[in-house]
Amino acid sequence: MRIGIDCRTILSPALGEKAGVGHYTYYLVKYLLKADQRNQYVLFFDHRVASTQEFKRKNVKIVRFPYSEYKRYLPFAYSHLFVSQILNRERLDLFHAPANVVPLQYKRPCVVTVHDLAIYQHPEWFPNKQDFSIKILVPKSLHKAKQIIAVSQSTANDVHRQFGIEHQRINVVYEGHEPNPVPKKLAARQIIKKFHLSEDFFLYIGTLEPRKNIAGLIAAFDTLVSKRPRRFKNVQLVLAGAKGFRFEDNYLAIQTVKAGSVRYLGYVTPKEKLALLALTKAFVFPSLYEGFGLPVVEAMACGTPVITSRVSSLPEVVGKAALLINPNKPQTLMKAIDQCLNQNTRKRYGRLGKQQAKQFTWQRCVEQTLAVYEKALH
């Protein structure tokens, strides 16, 4: 097969360290090329990509979409006419769009990955309503696709309900995670000593945006500190990650709590993230909606106890290996945080989580993705 993959979300190898579609595409391509020397691959990159050196193989052709003034002044024409022309020129057997959308003028067989449908279910969480994309581009792309990859059964169910697409065309292929050695506690403390954190802390890592329910987490933690001052003396809630849409709401919430009990660190490096996960009492992820939930998989893989929501894909991903809460009922979150001050509870969920995380590998993701490619052409 001659397979094309849209790699425009990979602008830098550093994206492999980050979340989102760029992260998924980077690792999917990296492991596909390791596993498959039989098929020919054409990888399509944006003209701004820093380097494509690591993707070069005998069975790989690299295509950079050239810069065009159309991209600046007529982005629709660029994305759907200009890009389609270049794709069609390559005479692919199959094209994989890893981010929901296939260029409108592309007519050959394709596979589309859907990560989540949050914008359909909760448009209020997004600064830009993206009307044309959600009303025209995504539905057309999914109906055009020979096969669809959904990153969880929850997302597969959402695709079926939202677009009426038959289940036979929707394939659940979980994302993987890149295993990294977790530092010992002494080394971890050295790595994060610049943050001057308390010995005991609970941790959230991810974008600070409405769907992550950060304001609810801060309020629940603040209530615990107020109601149980002796038990939660010197215990902190630590937030790390990029500022997302309506970050100011979270910033205001932080200002209302007891001084020093909630810390926002901003972006942390991969090394700092692993050190924080090694030292925290528990990783707290009370999201209101996820398509997959990579942060909880990464935390479980580190042997870190996880507290997360009983909504969308999260129960499916964590199984019985995490404390599940109702994100709309603060008392359930408070109870789970309180439970994780107990060492036996932490040991139990740390052990269960490490085992659960083993099923989410990029090797398995690639194996199942290749099976979807075959299915799309037969």
Give per-residue pLDDT as tens, 306-340: 999 999 999 999 999 999 999 999 999 999 999 99
Instruction: Answer yes or no: do 277 and 318 share one domain.
Output: yes
Percent of the chain clearing pLDDT 70 (strictly above): 91
In the chain, alpha helices (H): 21-35, 69-73, 75-77, 83-89, 118-121, 131-132, 138-144, 153-163, 185-191, 214-227, 247-255, 270-279, 294-301, 314-318, 330-339, 343-357, 362-376
- The reported pLDDT for the residue numbered 180 is 87
Q: Report the CATH number that the domain containing residue 285 is assigned in CATH.
A: 3.40.50.2000
Q: Please indicate, yes or no, whether residues 219 and 134 belong to a single structural domain of this protein.
A: no
Query: What's the CA gap between 167 and 143, in Å, rounded?
Result: 12
pLDDT at position 11 is 77
**Overall average pLDDT of the 8-13 stretch:** 77
Average pLDDT over residues 195-201: 94
Q: What six digits make up the tokens of 273? A: 């993230």
β-strand partners of 172: 150
Which of 226, 204, 199 is CA-nearest to residue 216?
204
Q: Is the pLDDT of residue 355 over 60?
A: yes
What pLDDT band is residue 49 in, cutting at 50, 70 and 90? confident
For the segment 252-280, the average pLDDT, to the nearest whole number, is: 83
One domain, residues 221 and 83: no
Whether residue 326 is found in the same domain as residue 203: yes
pLDDT band for position 79 (cuts 50, 70, 90): confident
pLDDT at 147 over 70: yes
**First-to-last C-alpha distance (Å) of the chain:** 12
In this structure, the answer to whether residues 117 and 262 fall within a common structural domain is no
**How high is the pLDDT of residue 126?**
76
Pick left, alpha or beta for residue 303 (phi over 0 → left; psi -120 to 50 → alpha; otherwise beta): left
Q: Are residues 370 and 345 in the same domain?
A: no
Burial class (CB in 10 A: 0-12, 13-18, 19+), 361: middle
Q: Is the pLDDT of residue 40 over 70?
A: yes
Task: Name residues whose C-beta falls within 8 Å of residue 137's C-beta, 6 or more positions apart in sequence.
Answer: 100, 101, 104
Q: Is the pLDDT of residue 67 over 80?
A: no
In the predicted structure, residue 16 carries a pLDDT above the cut 50: no
Q: Which of 267, 318, 330 is nearest to 293 (CA)?
A: 318
Q: How many domains does the chain have?
A: 2
Shared domain for 211 and 99, answered yes or no, is no
Check pLDDT > 80 for residue 14. no
Q: Do 15 and 84 lie in a common domain? A: yes
DSSP-based three-state secondary structure for 95 = strand
Task: Check whether residue 168 and residue 316 sit in a common domain.
Answer: no
Q: From the CA atom positions of the chain, what is the Rg in Å?
A: 22
Q: Are residues 304 and 319 in the same domain?
A: yes
**Cα 229 to Cα 222: distance, rounded to the nearest angstrom:** 10
Q: Which domain holds residue 316?
A: 185-357
The pLDDT score that the predictor gives to residue 257 is: 61
* Same-domain pairing of 148 and 64: yes
- Same domain for 311 and 209? yes
